[in-house]
Amino acid sequence: MTKSLPLAAMEKLLKAAGASRVSEDAKVALREVIEDIAKDIAERASKFAQHSGRKTIKSADVKLAARG
C-alpha cells in the first residue's frame, strides 16, 4: 500500500494530543495504523454502497462503516 498521508500531519495529530516532541518512528507508526484503519473502513463502505445498488460511496456509507 502506498503511503499517502504526510508525516507532518501525523506530527500535528500527536502534538494536538499533547506530545511536546515526536520521533520520526512515532510518526511512521501512526501513519501505518491510521492507513490500515482507513483501508478497512473504505472496504466496508464500498460493500455498503454495492449492497445498496450504487457504485458511488456516500458519506453515510463511510460513517456506517466507521461504527464497526
Q: Is residue 2, in this structure, part of any structural domain at all?
A: no
Q: Which residues form the domain of 62?
A: 7-66
How many independent structural domains does the chain possess? 1
- Does the predicted model carry a pTM greater than 0.95? no
Contacts with 12 (C-beta within 8 Å, 6 or more apart), sequence order: none
d(CA 57, CA 61): 6
Q: Is residue 49, in this structure, part of any structural domain at all?
A: yes
**pLDDT tens digit string along 8-48?**
999 999 999 999 999 999 999 999 999 999 999 999 999 99
Q: Is residue 22, in this structure, part of any structural domain at all?
A: yes
Q: Is residue 13, in this structure, part of any structural domain at all?
A: yes
SS3 readout for 15-53: HHCCCCCCCHHHHHHHHHHHHHHHHHHHHHHHHHHHHCC
Q: Is residue 1, in this structure, part of any structural domain at all?
A: no
Residue 30 grid cell = 501512526
CATH of the domain at 11: 1.10.20.10
Q: Is residue 17, in this structure, part of any structural domain at all?
A: yes
